[in-house]
Structure 1
Amino acid sequence: MASLHTRRMVSPFPVLHGHGLRLRLWDSGSEADLRTWLRGLTDPDFRRWNTPLHPVTDLESARESLRAKVVSAVEGSSASYCVTDAETGTALGHIGVNLINPVLSNARVGYWVLPEARGRGVATHALAVASRWALNELGLHRLELDHAVGHEASCRIAERCGFRYEGTLRGAMFEAGRYDTFRDMHLHGRLTTDPEPRLP
């Protein structure tokens, strides 16, 4: 069987458009994508609120992490999108529709935005585009979104995009930079029967 380096892998997920954004799948063979992925996952603000199970600290670990995302997309279990400016193609961040469960018809979404793209509504609009696709075209019934308690910006983004606050999960995620200490997180959910939020 050909390796990941030599065989062309094709994902079942489409390119998405909306709100001046173009969401395209990450390319693990692109040096630019690799460096953007590394920059996003090593950003201090990202690290403040997230502790990846498999740490990304350099180009090699970033390459391994991004390859895993590409494989998941090919398998149909997660759709990992590079969020770009629709006109310039400039990378702005990431949004993923993860842990897609066709039996229970649900998935979990997560996102991050590069420092220079913050404050422009990128995360809100990317979440709106990805959610509409996942609920209407992918046909999922429920999307979940979680974040560390105290991450007020993420809470506002979730609520703007129709993800209702559903409760606090105690000790459900790692503390920043730790694998031996836990913290609480907020759970938000959106159903396909919920009204479509109105965004500017």
Structure 2
Amino acid sequence: MTHVDDQHLARPFPDLHAPGIRLRAWDPRSEADVAAWLRGTTDPEFRRWNTPLRPVTDLDGARETLRSKAVQAVEGTSASYCVTDADTGTQLGHIGVNAIEQDLRLARVGYWVLPEARGRHVATSALALTARWAFTDLGLHRLELGHALGHGASCRVAERCGFRYEGTLRGAMFEADRKDAFRDVHLHARLATDPDPEL
């Protein structure tokens, strides 16, 4: 694994801009970023639908996670963006292009939004912007998106952004806060050749 120290954090991916939002790399040196990551990934609504392989429970864990994401960005296997308010710079949430497989031109996307930013179409704007970038700048052909069965909000975001429902994956995700039980996942995907959605 590539080592990236805090003094030489690379920024291999550009900032992205859309009306009302700016996407930039998470910064493990920023106390505000670290606190936002911790708050987002410990939020009860996030935990209801997601069971991270390595749960973050404190600021040190959040900082280490952001450092790991910086390394993955340098290696080209993942691009993790902090979604911010375009005017104030306030952190609103996260969107990532993960498990990038350049040989297959395939990746997976995931996102979450902080409680105070929900209901403002932040995830929809961020996903539409990120997908456009992944298809053009990264040259990807297929983006996959999975969410726990029953997560209606995430399903609506996916559909608004042109990610078609392709089926249900049985037992493909951990149950909330458990690693001994599984639940089904809705699989959505979008191809570079699909028409742009009308947002």
- Fold equivalence (TM over 0.5): yes
Q: 1:41 and 2:44 equivalent?
A: no
3-state SS of 2:177 partner: coil
Deviation at 1:27, TM superposition (A): 0.4
Residue of structure 2 in register with 1:167 after alignment: 167
Q: Larger deviation: 122-131 or 7-16?
A: 7-16
Q: Structure 2: which amino acid aligns with 1:81? A: Y
Q: Quote the Cα distance in structure 2 between the aligned partners of 1:160 and 1:148.
A: 17
Q: Is 1:180 the equivalent of 2:173?
A: no
Which residue of the partner structure matches residue 55 of structure 2? 55
CA distance in 2, matches of 1:194, 1:184: 26
2:90 aligns with 90
Cross-structure match for 2:71: 71
In 2, distance between residues paired with 1:4 and 1:76?
A: 13
Q: Which runs of 5+ in 1 are unaligned?
A: none
> Which stretch has the larger CA shift, 185-194 or 56-65?
56-65
Please report the TM-score for the alignment, with normalisation by the length of structure 1.
0.96
* Cα distance in structure 2, aligned partners of 1:6 and 1:165: 40
Amino acid at match of 1:15: D
Q: Which residue of 1 aligns with 2:157?
A: 157
**How far off is 1:185 after superposition?**
0.4
* Cα offset, 1:81, TM superposition: 0.2
Give per-residue Cα distances to partners, 1:38-68, cap 9 Å, x unaligned.
Answer: 0000000000000000010111111111111
RMSD (Å), alpha carbons: 1.3
1:13 shift after superposition: 0.7
Give the Cα–Cα distance (whole angstroms) in 1 for the partners of residues 89 and 121 of structure 2.
17
Comparing 71-80 and 46-55, the one that deviates more: 71-80
Residues 57 and 190 of structure 1: is their aligned pair in 2 closer, same or farther, counting only changes over 3 Å?
Answer: same
Q: Once the two structures are aligned, what percentage of the paired residues are identical?
A: 71
Secondary structure of 1:81's aligned partner: strand
Partner secondary structure for residue 60 of structure 2: helix
Show the counterpart of 1:19: 19
Alpha-carbon distance in structure 2 between the residues aligned to 1:32 and 1:163:
32
Q: Which runs of 4+ in 1 moved over 2 A?
A: 3-7
Distance change in 2, residues 1:12/1:166 (3 Å): same
Q: Once the 2 structures are TM-superposed, how far is the Cα of residue 161 of structure 1 from its aligned partner?
A: 0.1
Which whole-Å deviations, capped at 9, do the CAs of 1:145-197 have from their partners, x for residues lacking one? 00000001100000000000000000000000001100000000000000001
Unaligned runs of 5+ in 2: none
- Tell me the equivalent position of 2:101: 101
